[in-house]
Structure 1
């Protein structure tokens, strides 16, 4: 049976509604290359248009597909080492501007529905003509509490544009949500025992946790995205000493240790400057993965200084040297770390560490430059924004009409209230106490 463009879009969204929340908790990288056909769409409202449309049209292709390293395409190609490619879905690299039959609003569901209907009228249907839809619209008159919104996981991003170019900080962060990555937080476990930890800001080790694009993403997030091969991730089943190479470095080798820790997992990585990443991050870092959800990992900080590379401390300020989880009888100690290589001893089942009481060998790292703050989700600051961050909870927001959006994670904004990450009808709200971040904007 032949269907119309609008009929095909209804079918596509109906099918995705059944699958958007069922992505695997992690995937394994292989030689296959994932190509994500991405369609940025410039969207205007009946009462609000772009103030500088020519500049927006010029900057959009560069932000998403430009050859420079600060484009979305270049970022994901380098980060995945060529395993994930963002490509333009249409020859012109973007669509629009499209004027929606609605006044300026933050109703993401309605914007999505009307945008897809307009695209279908032009013969463009998601799943057939493009994979990811990124809706870019002027912030004037919207009053949104977020600079960007992304489905977690899913195919949709909304960019609330305050200038003429949102930049990689915003767009890369929201596309990270599309991969199933949440906001990466930090847990302070100052006594070195994971039994008594307190949440304290964001990790500064990922674009999803305050590190900005220069931090890339962390090892558990790389596992979630499917960008580490089986040979690059070792699932530890026996006590021993393991050698790690830098997470984002070139060549072969083990990049992550995946250790059982009761119902959770403990993922250990070594970070060292490589390519465009980790100029301000050094040392061995560890993450708790709750219930095998690698996209919801939390950095473990066992230091007493409460400092990260995000607040101008040394690059290895929150790197671990040793830690213990008495409940699961797991311990680890760093034997040596520096110059692109680290050795880590792991003890399971309550076995003693042979390195107990020894100081790990370590090569000094260069002084860092500022990369973020403890409460910065790494979205960047679009034109006209200041640097004030607010952290806290918020109220749920209805997203009916966007059935295949998955959960929505909102970041950035100009209000003192926080939008809660929500999904469409029947989707679960992201867990209570989830970190949601906003920014106060300068008023034009």
Structure 2
């Protein structure tokens, strides 16, 4: 399908001090009758193009209603379709206009409808089934979002199938002007997992320990004013092959900021093999870019990702030291190489500017013949601007899903102390029941009592992950 023309509306730089919401994951299930959003089936497929005819259903429980139905309706219209940082605007901008999220009918929002589910239950499968039954007969749509009253029965704040077509939200997750939850959950429907960060031993890119979230994409707790990461763009082939370098030998590659204006020429990512087992290494340069999807980069610099098994939708940012926003720059500081001795790789870079950075890749490390210090870019450097042979997306065999927890305040004001898991408001119940008809299709959700579940085993159905949702203080928002 071809995409409709959607223009991303420019937004101003948002304040950096945020509250964070820490998010958990768990196992649940759901049956989806809507058609899942398509992703490329092979490396030979072209860029993903989607026209998503979207419906939002507002529901009331049998014993509890939405706080203000009219407000929930208006907020859903804005967050999905109309706001400058809506789901529609965000993915149109990141995909180069290839993704269009449009109302399936009217303004796309239906209800509220009262369903025969009590607020003490969190049966996601039944909620979805009953929500669908209230839609107009014969309505055709691709994607379903459901907004429910806030309830202590649901441990999640937002929920989305990975590679599926359904998302669920407690009403607070889609209220006001904060669109991170909606952007994040739609990303799961596209097939993206949570993007995590790992702390690796010195001299190694493998055998690493979980160290939180990448913070550089909405799928890694970065908020709705950070663009998708290079691995996520490569997964959908939204980064042109001419903007990807694949060095074959030691080289210096000048990287343009990943989300610089389209008029800015140059290489935006490095994608190269890591070892011989199908893993990849992706390198990007992130800097705040005015009037783009990347205005909110708090930790600019060179970021390094390990792509296990070539699954670009499950990338892991790697570093050798824990994140310290007062000292760290990207994944590492350029004066100290990040190295993998087993695969003879050393990475350094020169001074960063708004126009880019020179990244030096030593592919014979350690070597007495070649310096690991950055060198000036040369027209004859040995990096080739061709895509890797394995730029295919990774999807699970069955749709899984991922969640958000509710906001809580930060004592420091910068979110650095909010890296634990929080539950949704007044949550006292256990995990939501699994509908019998929904068995076998997992959901990961916000606020579960699992701090960093192992998403390394992406093939294991039923495991979710953790990400951070930045809940901005609305009084500081500017449009």
- What TM-score does the superposition give when structure 1 sets the normalisation length? 0.75
Relative to 1, partners in 2 of residues 1:419 and 1:190: Cα closer, same or farther, differing over 3 Å?
A: closer
Tell me the secondary structure at the aligned position of residue 96 of structure 1: strand
Tell me the secondary structure at the aligned position of residue 59 of structure 1: helix
Q: Any conservation in 1 of the 2:360–2:373 contact (CA below 8 Å)?
A: no
Deviation at 1:54, TM superposition (A): 1.7
Matching residue of 2:319: 301
Task: Give distance in 1, aligned partners of 2:156 and 2:224.
Answer: 19
Tell me the secondary structure at the aligned position of residue 69 of structure 1: coil
Aligned ranges 1:15-414 → 2 under 5 Å: 24=41, 30=47, 33-66=49-82, 68-104=83-119, 105-119=121-135, 122-124=137-139, 129-140=140-151, 142-162=152-172, 165=175, 167-189=178-200, 191-251=202-262, 252-262=265-275, 263=277, 264-274=279-289, 275-277=292-294, 278-302=296-320, 304=321, 306-309=322-325, 313=326, 316=329, 318-321=331-334, 322-348=337-363, 352=367, 356=371, 358=373, 381=406, 385-386=408-409, 390-391=420-421, 398=434, 400-402=436-438, 407-411=442-446, 413=447
Q: Any conservation in 1 of the 2:244–2:271 contact (CA below 8 Å)?
A: yes
Q: Any conservation in 1 of the 2:87–2:101 contact (CA below 8 Å)?
A: yes
Deviation at 1:79, TM superposition (A): 2.4
Deviation at 1:200, TM superposition (A): 0.9
User: Which has the larger displacement, 317-326 or 219-228?
Assistant: 317-326
CA RMSD of aligned residues (A): 3.7
Deviation at 1:80, TM superposition (A): 2.3
Task: Give distance in 1, aligned partners of 2:368 and 2:38.
Answer: 41
Deviation at 1:108, TM superposition (A): 1.3
Q: Any conservation in 1 of the 2:32–2:166 contact (CA below 8 Å)?
A: no
Task: Give distance in 2, aligned partners of 1:113 and 1:208.
Answer: 27
1:43-80: CA deviations, max 9, x gaps? 222122112112112221111112x3222222222222
Q: Any conservation in 2 of the 1:41–1:134 contact (CA below 8 Å)?
A: yes
1:104-155: CA deviations, max 9, x gaps? 3321111112222332x5322xxxx211111111113x52111011101111
Task: Give distance in 2, aligned partners of 1:301 and 1:438.
Answer: 19
Matching residue of 1:374: none
Q: Which runs of 5+ in 1 are unaligned?
A: 1-11, 362-376
Larger helix percent? 1
Task: Give distance in 2, aligned partners of 1:158 and 1:51.
Answer: 17
Relative to 1, partners in 2 of residues 1:386 and 1:107: Cα closer, same or farther, differing over 3 Å?
A: farther
User: Which has the larger displacement, 175-184 or 349-358?
Assistant: 349-358
Task: Give distance in 1, aligned partners of 2:80 and 2:242.
Answer: 31
Deviation at 1:34, TM superposition (A): 2.6
Relative to 1, partners in 2 of residues 1:76 and 1:164: Cα closer, same or farther, differing over 3 Å?
A: closer
Deviation at 1:389, TM superposition (A): 5.2
Q: Which runs of 5+ in 2 are unaligned?
A: 1-30, 377-401, 411-417, 423-429, 472-479
Relative to 1, partners in 2 of residues 1:324 and 1:421: Cα closer, same or farther, differing over 3 Å?
A: closer
Matching residue of 1:368: none
User: Which has the larger displacement, 226-235 or 168-177?
Assistant: 226-235
Q: Any conservation in 2 of the 1:135–1:158 contact (CA below 8 Å)?
A: yes
Tell me the secondary structure at the aligned position of residue 138 of structure 2: coil
Relative to 1, partners in 2 of residues 1:410 and 1:99: Cα closer, same or farther, differing over 3 Å?
A: same
- Which structure exhibits the higher relative contact order, with contacts defined as CA atoms closer than 8 Å and separated by 6 or more residues? 2
Q: Any conservation in 1 of the 2:38–2:190 contact (CA below 8 Å)?
A: no
User: Which has the larger displacement, 228-237 or 284-293?
Assistant: 228-237
Task: Give distance in 1, aligned partners of 2:102 and 2:369.
Answer: 50
1:359-417: CA deviations, max 9, x gaps? 789xxxxxxxxxxxxxxx995856xx54565349x9896355347x9542312x3x756
